[in-house]
Chains A and B, each alone.
Chain A
Amino acid sequence: MTQSDRKWDKVINDLKLSRRDFVFSSVAAGVLTLTPRFVSAQAGAPYKLGVLLPSTGTGANYMAHCIKGLPVAIAELNKRGGLLGKHQIQMIYRDTETKPDVGAREAKSLILNDKVDAIFGTYSSAVALAIQEIIHEHKVLHFAATSNSSKITQDNYTPYTYQFCPDSNMQSGAVVVAVAKMAKKNGWKSYVSLGQDYEWGRDTHKGFTGSLAKVAADVKETRQLWFKLGETDFTSYITAIMAAKPDFMFGAIAGKDAETFLQQAGQMGLFKRVPFPGGLIAVNDLKAQRKTLPRGMIGLARCPFFAHLNEPIMQAYIKRDRAAFGADDYPDDWACMYYDALGGLEQGAKKAGSVSTEAIVKALKGATIDTCRGKRTFRDCSNQLEVPSYVGEVWDSPDYPFPIYKPDTMVVVEAKEVWTPTCAEVDKLKKKRA
């Protein structure tokens, strides 16, 4: 290991304990300073990339790997010269605190003060919808890879936003496919829904109930329970669910709320009485709750690394993150999707032969790109990447220090099976923009 590499490792290590804006900006600047030997002789202007993700608030635990992983991926890209081999990426991080007002403020600051060329983010759909107005007004490239309300690419469509994550309708559609099969097999007739009372929760619930009614009309929802973001005590919700005696429950719960709910529900034995198929159980949940997650539980994931171990991009990605953060620190769904977003930016610039926003927007329209999840194509009418959702049974694997989805139970639901069927329908939803 060279001295330069050691310095770089130190920067990355420091980053784990970073204080939001200052350190991340410094690291991005450090990347430029510490790696001059990799920069091409004809270096172009740096490409400023604003990253809007929460390190506080309900989404913080989901974004942790992403926030520490992106600088490593960017450093690797910069070692190759950056975008088009000559534009070093300078990352500027801002904490959205998972709040729409903070996200909008920081987006404005990134665009007007830091003059960023593109924005990656956000975690929460409510924040994403808030910043999209600013994105559209200032014509800045926006890659969303975790916030996944279907409104982001449909009702609130802007040509500057590209979506790398299955949207809420696609996710709930995937759960419907799995639940419909189980309902038929087990004779389920009733269910209770529990969701986060905000944009994503409501949207996901609407997608699920609407789709399930079409494929299993005899399965009825008997109760809806909504809780505020950041709920700390689910006991009253859990007893209310048990009192309703449903055949199963549906949940639109993510982030730290999902972690708290799963922990408390497990301790109260909820899943012994009420099956919970299709709750969001991402790789970070599998890692964090390795001891407490009920085995056999049916989970839903967005980009689990273990589903694409044959993909060279995924293999390289896992190898690099484990080398950077430790052998047990496998990348989670969220980091994986933002890694794909970075790959999309690099490939978009290459295809466009330019780093100008308009050129990249044009180049990515309907384009097929290489991702951790294989070759995937953007839908022409919405800029939604054609990515699958994953439903499977939580299972102890001998290969990992945490459970994964049991391979023979995993259902990969492709985008085209579950997204808004036609572009004509998508176009109808789009609001008119100036």
Chain B
Amino acid sequence: MDIAPYALQLFSGLSRAMVLFLLSAGLSLIFGVMNILNFAHATLWLVSGYVTYSMFTFLSQQFGASPWMLLPSIVGAVALMSLLGFALERFLIRHTYARELPEQLLLTFALVLILGDAIKLIWGVENRRINLGVKPIEMMDTLVNPYQFVIIGAGVAVAVGLWYFLHRTRFGKIVRAAVFSRSMVSALGIPIPLIYSGVFALGVGLAAFAGGVFLPLLPMSLGVDHDIIVQCFAVVVIGGFGSMLGTFVASIIVGVVYSFSILFWPDGALAMIFLILIVVLIWRPWGLFGTELRY
């Protein structure tokens, strides 16, 4: 039996999984800590992609074209978008904490439209892409894109980094504590509003990182955020809102199941994902790694 096709499908599934994880991590974090369902998360990711594109173009013009220009472009975009996230939380999001969920959704959906039009005004409607000149490499008698290793590596690095941050740093521990009891954290004299701003900025920063990392693979185009946000929600619901481990595992489940479905049952690939979602919602409404308390 030739296992190469299955191994390659697993590889492409893992690559897809890390794409989903990088996108969903910020969404899950923001909901887990702040109880805000940020519908504009994928749109912020899209804006980040455009910002990275502009920085990459600028740096390439100034210092000569090189794939390595992507690194400072991503760093710059993450910094800029994190600041934007901080400002958004301060001036918009925090006014909705006491409001009902539909109002939060309306506000963040309004952001989707506003940011979408802002993209149109700044970058126009043409798709934006960068070309790193990556050449395919041979693996198991077929060809693969080596940049997929970068995507998988970036996904794992972010997962490890987030774990370290949440479990080994003081700020991370405060964030985890805030997930369970805001009032207790507040009673200890820790400024919850600042924590919230920081978490929202971090979530947007993660989206910005994802936007930059995907840019060599995916042309940035209007509306792509609408296409991808639904799958992000599926990942976060399956994994459990607020659980990074859950988001990571759910991304792998969704990515790998989708990839193998294409091999065995292509017509039902997307249906398989939502079938898993339905089963999880019935069996464990709080998600695979979420907690009942949170639910």
A contacts, CB < 8 Å to B? 16-19, 55-58, 60-61, 63-64, 67, 97-98, 223-226, 228-233, 235-240, 242-243, 256, 259-260, 263-264, 267-270, 272-273, 288, 291-292
A153 to B212, CA, bound (A): 44
- Which B residues touch A267, using CB under 8 A? 134, 136, 145, 147, 216-217
- Which B residues touch A243, using CB under 8 A? 4-5, 8-9, 142, 263
A267 to B134, CA, bound (A): 6
Q: Which of B108-127 contact A (CB under 8 A)?
A: 116-117, 120-121, 124-127
Interface bracket on B: 35 or more
Select the residue from B120, B135, B222 with max chain A CB neighbours within 10 A. Answer: B222
Q: Do the beta carbons of A288 and B127 come within 8 Å of each other?
A: yes
Q: Do the beta carbons of B116 and A238 come within 8 Å of each other?
A: no
Known: A225-B266, A236-B12. A264 touches B125 (CB 8 A): no
A166 to B120, CA, bound (A): 31
Known: A230-B224, A232-B227. A256 touches B127 (CB 8 A): yes
- Which B residues touch A232, using CB under 8 A? 19, 218, 224, 227-228
A395 to B270, CA, bound (A): 37
Q: Do the beta carbons of A16 and B19 come within 8 Å of each other?
A: no
Q: Do the beta carbons of A236 and B262 come within 8 Å of each other?
A: yes
| Interface: B198 (CB within 8 A) | no
A32: min CB distance to chain B, Å: 25
Q: Do the beta carbons of A60 and B125 come within 8 Å of each other?
A: yes
Question: Chain B interface secondary structure, helix, strand, loop or mixed?
Answer: helix
| Interface: B143 (CB within 8 A) | yes
A174: min CB distance to chain B, Å: 26
Q: Which of B251-276 contact A (CB under 8 A)?
A: 258-259, 262-263, 266-267, 270
Q: Do the beta carbons of A260 and B125 come within 8 Å of each other?
A: no
A61 to B222, CA, bound (A): 9
A225: min CB distance to chain B, Å: 5
Q: Do the beta carbons of A17 and B121 come within 8 Å of each other?
A: yes
Q: Do the beta carbons of A230 and B223 come within 8 Å of each other?
A: yes
| Interface: B54 (CB within 8 A) | no
Question: Which of A18, A256, A270 interacts with B221 by CB under 8 Å?
Answer: A256
Q: B1-37, CB under 8 A of A: which get 1 and which 0?
A: 0001100110111011001000000000000000000
- Which A residues touch B13, using CB under 8 A? 236
Known: A97-B223, A264-B217, A267-B145. A238 touches B12 (CB 8 A): yes
- Which B residues touch A57, using CB under 8 A? 222-223, 226
A260 to B219, CA, bound (A): 6
Q: Do the beta carbons of A269 and B143 come within 8 Å of each other?
A: yes
- Which B residues touch A239, using CB under 8 A? 5, 8-9, 11-12, 142, 144, 259
- Which A residues touch B221, using CB under 8 A? 60-61, 256, 259
- Which A residues touch B216, using CB under 8 A? 267
Q: B132-155, CB under 8 A of A: which get 1 and which 0?
A: 001110000011110110000000
- Which B residues touch A242, using CB under 8 A? 8, 142-143
Chain A residue with the shortest CB-CB distance to B4: A243
Given contacts A226-B266, A242-B143, A269-B145, 6 further A-B contacts (CB under 8 A): A61-B125, A232-B19, A238-B12, A243-B8, A270-B143, A288-B129
Question: Which of A17, A224, A291 interacts with B124 by CB under 8 Å?
Answer: A17
Q: Do the beta carbons of A263 and B129 come within 8 Å of each other?
A: yes
| Interface: B62 (CB within 8 A) | no
A264 to B222, CA, bound (A): 18
Q: B170-188, CB under 8 A of A: which get 1 and which 0?
A: 0000000000000000000
| Interface: B131 (CB within 8 A) | yes
Q: Do the beta carbons of B124 and A16 come within 8 Å of each other?
A: yes
A230 to B218, CA, bound (A): 11
Known: A19-B117, A236-B16. A291 touches B142 (CB 8 A): no
Q: Which of B73-127 contact A (CB under 8 A)?
A: 116-117, 120-121, 124-127
